[in-house]
């Protein structure tokens, strides 16, 4: 339960701010001028804050819809938007802990401004744009608090020729199951073997729970994406990922999969340095090395290629003809 809510004065009377604050009747409310005062201040400990993060309610004032970083495109043209910053979960490999100084959650409550910019962007691209949610946060993990999907899905009902991908590890799918499925919305789940989840994906739903949510959404008619990223190079990765792929494709027919993406564990140089400083004894960080050509850390090119080629081969076996996107650390 959040004990502290930082509230930008500019959104103190916003209806969404009031609704969120009502959900935390015991929280201390601290008014601020700008969320950066709390979120971007120096000498913060992400790890310490993560044990009891505060909530920041703010207004997104600058550009809200941005081009997807190169190499992460899932369609053309591709954009992303973030209704909030930071994630409820605590995955040890997550780049957010190396990107943000603070572990507090920022929710931008001015959804109406996001809606307007999304519609303008879709119109500019004649309705063929691909929009992605889930880069700076998990799309659905805090849905009971944010009502993000409930608010944004009607916008995409208006622009049927554009596509929205919701990326999540969450089982908070009620907002989607309560409405008819939209053919231009892809519900994409980040998945890993249960062994990897237990080691590196703290506070996340189990693999079984995620599969159950996928099955419910699939049965309701929603498009499903599978995101196997990052693949973690354990000593027995072929054994555990083979068992994992078998389980996934035993419960989901390839005809029901919209697309698959695949990637290995990788971080930018800046993200690596911050994360390694916070967790100097983390085994995961010792498995990657700098790639100066791309200013990032990742597996050695030979290992990276071996992992991706092996996974591609297995996925071709289980899900031939399903579009596959590959993201490499090199």
* pLDDT tens-digit readout, 138-154: 999 999 999 999 999 99
pLDDT of residue 282: 96
Element (H, E) at 6: strand 4-8
What confidence category does residue 329 fall into, taking pLDDT thresholds of 50, 70 and 90?
low
Predicted pLDDT of residue 76 = 75
Which residues face 78 on adjacent strands?
130
Does 298 or 294 have the greater pLDDT score? 298
Cα separation, 174 vs 168, in Å, equals 14
Q: With 90 as the cut, is the pLDDT of residue 285 above it? A: yes
Q: What is the pLDDT of residue 327?
A: 81
CB 315 within 8 A of CB 226: no
**Cβ(186)–Cβ(148) below 8 Å:** no
Residue 69 has pLDDT above 90, yes or no: no
Residues 125, 145: Cα–Cα separation, whole Å: 32
> What mean pLDDT comes out for the span 76-82?
92
CA dihedral (135, 164, 222, 311) in degrees, to 10, reads -50
Backbone dihedral angles phi then psi of residue 207, each to the nearest 5 degrees: -60, -40
Q: What confidence score (pLDDT) does residue 28 get?
A: 97
Domains of the chain: 62-83+112-327 (3.80.30.30)
Sign of the Cα pseudo-torsion (178, 183, 188, 193, in order): positive
Is residue 111 within 8 Å of residue 154, measured between CB atoms? no
- State yes or no: pLDDT of 55 exceeds 70: yes
pTM of the predicted model as reported, rounded to 2 decimal places: 0.95
State the average pLDDT over residues 84-103: 96
pLDDT of residue 114: 98
Q: Which helix (H) or strand (E) holds 116?
A: helix 111-124
> Once rounded to an integer, what is the mean pLDDT over residues 158-166?
94
pLDDT at site 330: 60
pLDDT of residue 75: 67
The pLDDT-based confidence of 29 (bands split at 50, 70, 90) is very high
Do 223 and 186 contact (CB within 8 A), yes or no? yes
Give the span between the Cα atoms of 80 and 304, in whole angstroms.
Answer: 27
pLDDT tier for residue 292 given thresholds of 50, 70 and 90? confident
More confident residue, 102 or 72: 102
Average pLDDT over residues 62-86: 87
Q: Name the band, by pLDDT with cuts 50, 70 and 90, for residue 64.
A: very high
- Residues forming a β-bridge with 29: 5
Residues 6+ apart with CB under 8 A from 298: 264, 265, 266, 267, 288, 289, 291, 304, 328, 329, 330
Q: DSSP assignment of 214-226, as one string?
A: HHHHHHHT-EEEE
Please tell me the predicted confidence (pLDDT) of residue 268.
Answer: 94
Neighbours of 12 (CB within 10 A): 13
Phi, psi dihedral angles at 306 (to 5 degrees): -60, -45
127 pLDDT higher than 80: no
pLDDT beyond 80 at 71: no
User: Greatest CA separation found in the chain?
Assistant: 56
Q: For residues 5 and 324, what is the distance between their CA atoms, to the nearest angstrom?
A: 41
β-pair type (266-268, 84-85): unpaired
Q: Is the pLDDT of residue 307 over 70?
A: yes
* CA 287 to each of CA 34, 176, 279, 283: distance values in angstroms, whole numbers, following the listed order: 39, 38, 14, 7
85 pLDDT band, cuts 50/70/90, is: very high
Phi, psi of 194 (to 5 degrees): -60, -35
Mean pLDDT, rounded, of the chain: 95
The beta strand positions in 78-200, using DSSP E, are 78-80, 84-85, 90-91, 105-108, 130-133, 163-168, 185-190
Q: Is the pLDDT reported for residue 128 higher than 90?
A: no
Q: What is the mean pLDDT of residues 6-22?
A: 98
Give the closest residue to 189 by CA, choosing from 164, 204, 210: 210
185-221: pLDDT as tens digits: 999 999 999 999 999 999 999 999 999 999 999 999 9
Give the mean model confidence (pLDDT) for residues 40-54. 91
For 174-275, strand residue ranges (E) read: 185-190, 201-202, 223-231, 257-264, 266-268
Distance CA 283, CA 281 (A): 6
- Laid out side by side, the sheet with 55-58 consists of 28-32, 4-8, 55-58, 105-108, 84-85
Which carries the bigger pLDDT value, residue 76 or residue 71?
Answer: 76
């Amino acid at each position: 339960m959040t004990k502290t809510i930082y509230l930008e004065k500019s959104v103190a009377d916003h209806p969404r701010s009031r609704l969120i604050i009502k959900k935390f009747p015991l929280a201390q409310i601290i008014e601020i001028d700008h969320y950066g005062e709390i979120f971007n201040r120096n000498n913060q400990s992400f790890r310490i804050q993560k044990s009891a993060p505060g909530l920041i309610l703010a207004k997104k004032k600058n550009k809200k819809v941005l081009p997807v970083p190169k190499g992460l495109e899932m369609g053309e043209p591709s954009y992303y938007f973030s209704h909030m910053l930071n994630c409820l979960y605590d995955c040890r490999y997550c780049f957010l802990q190396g990107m943000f100084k603070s572990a507090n959650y920022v929710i931008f409550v001015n959804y109406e401004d996001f809606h307007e910019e999304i519609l303008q962007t879709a119109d500019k691209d004649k309705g063929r744009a691909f929009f992605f949610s889930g880069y700076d946060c998990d799309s659905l993990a805090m849905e009971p608090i944010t009502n993000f999907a409930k608010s944004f899905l009607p916008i995409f009902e208006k622009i049927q020729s554009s596509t929205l991908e919701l990326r999540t590890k969450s089982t908070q799918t009620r907002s989607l199951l309560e409405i008819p499925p939209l053919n231009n919305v892809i519900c994409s789940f980040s998945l890993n073997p249960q062994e990897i989840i237990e080691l590196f994906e703290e506070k996340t739903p189990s693999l079984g729970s995620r599969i159950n949510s996928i099955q419910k959404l699939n049965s309701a008619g929603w498009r499903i994406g599978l995101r196997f990223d990052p693949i973690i190079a354990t000593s027995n990765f072929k054994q555990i990922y083979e068992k994992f792929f078998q389980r996934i494709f035993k419960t989901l027919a390839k005809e029901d999969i919209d697309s698959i993406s695949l990637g290995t564990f990788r971080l930018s140089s800046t993200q690596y340095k911050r994360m390694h400083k916070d967790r100097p004894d983390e085994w995961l960080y010792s498995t990657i090395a700098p790639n100066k050509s791309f200013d990032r850390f990742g597996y050695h090119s030979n290992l990276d290629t071996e992992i991706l080629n092996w996974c591609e081969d297995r996925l071709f076996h289980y899900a031939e003809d399903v579009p596959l996107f590959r993201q490499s650390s090199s």
